[in-house]
Amino acid sequence: MSDYGYVRVSTAEQNEDRQMIAMNEAGVPKGNIFADKQSCKDFERPAYKKLMKKLKPGDVVYFKSIDRMGRNYKDMIEQWRIITKEKGADVVVLDMPILDTRQQKNLIGTLISDIVLQLLSYVSETERINIRQRQAGGIAAAKKRGVRFGRPPKEMPPDFEEIIRRWEKKELTMTEITEQYGMSQSTFYKLKREFEIRWKRRG
């Protein structure tokens, strides 16, 4: 029987130290800790898949919190079933002692763990959906107020007419334009079209 730990952060910039400390305090050998640095949209994670291949009956898998396992309600329930039923291993969620399948190894204990897991997973996913909806609503409201997102549009240089004239006469190459005026080729053509439209309106 072996103890394993699973650690996950969503991006390479995030720090997994707190989870590592928790695994160390739980007595999980350092060499048995599997860590992924990617989002939890699914369970196609390299370290997690390696962990699942190693699991044997009687092993124990530690998670710092239930959201480190995942956030998708249905997928989490399925993974819990695979670990506890198919693999015959135990699961321990350190931040939620009631989610410890080593305790009360009977039908009632298993039932309680499964019910609590389903409840927490549902709450976790519901909160994630609500956050996305609030963000989308906030963005939509901001757009109605005229707030612009993303990079500000590149302004047309005061001497843009001269730039176009020199480019058309091959006195300036596209590379020189992009380097000297800090604009991409696509931006140049976009501004050129805008300039030509303004020129026509003047006429």
Torsion 140-141-146-150 (CA) sign: negative
β-sheet bridge partners, residue 35: 7
> pTM score > 0.85 for this model?
no
pLDDT at residue 56, as a whole number: 94
Give the C-alpha separation, 122 to 127, whole Å.
9
What mean pLDDT do residues 188-199 have? 83
Beta carbons of 160 and 191 less than 8 angstroms apart: yes
State which H helix or E strand residue 90 sits in.
strand 90-93
Low-confidence winner among 37-41, 73-77, 120-124, 141-145 (lowest mean pLDDT): 120-124
Residue 118 has pLDDT above 90, yes or no: no
For the chain, the structural domain boundaries read 3-130, 160-202
Model pLDDT, residue 31: 93
167 band by pLDDT with thresholds 50, 70 and 90: confident
- Side chain identity, residue 146: G
Q: Does domain 3-130 have CATH number 3.30.1360.170?
A: no
pLDDT, position 174: 87
Q: What is the predicted pLDDT for the residue at 16?
A: 84
> 68-97 pLDDT, tens per residue?
887 777 788 888 889 988 999 999 999 888
Whole-number Å distance between alpha carbons of 54 and 3? 11
Q: What is the pLDDT of residue 65?
A: 86
Strands 33-37 and 60-63: unpaired
Confidence tier at 51 by pLDDT (50, 70, 90) = very high
pLDDT of residue 105: 64
> CB 40: neighbour CB atoms within 10 A?
21
